[in-house]
Amino acid sequence: MDLSVLAAESGMSAGEAFSISSTGMIVVLIVLIVLAVLVLLISKGVRAAQGKGKQTEEAVAAAPSASAAQSAAPAPAVPVVNGAPLPENQSAGQLELYDCDEKSAAVIMAIISNESGIPLNHLEFKSIKAIEE
């Protein structure tokens, strides 16, 4: 059927029929755009929540293992030099380096202190040796 025939049967002109149909198409497009924006916003929100959830899960998973390791290991003894406890900002003993520079040794000691949770001045390193693989 021709659009003019439908317009004649319904009592409206071809211009009115065209404006009603174009208005309907514009409304549908606007609703689709709004839905697309909502889907994007919701997906970003879900991704952010999953990211926070992963961080929280990792923190929760790491906390029991770290606390279990600390509780299983005996409390570190405070280094004693000449019968007196060592002050907080000093270290005990001499460190021998084998095939390792001072910067690498410092990084290794810092990592061990951080991972074990024992302050660096409570640890006593006797030697560090580089192992070639």
> Which residues of 56-115 form beta strands (DSSP E)?
80-81, 84-85, 96-98
Q: What is the value of pTM for the model shown?
A: 0.35
Q: Please give the DSSP secondary-structure letter assigned to residue 73.
A: S
**pLDDT tens digit sequence for 64-106:** 554 444 444 454 455 555 555 555 555 556 778 888 888 888 8
Indicate whether 17 pLDDT > 50.
yes
**β-strand partners of 128:** 97
pLDDT value of position 104: 86
Q: How far apart are CA 41 and CA 43, in angstroms?
A: 5
Distance CA 126, CA 96 (A): 6
- pLDDT for position 21: 94
pLDDT for position 67: 47
d(CA 108, CA 105): 5
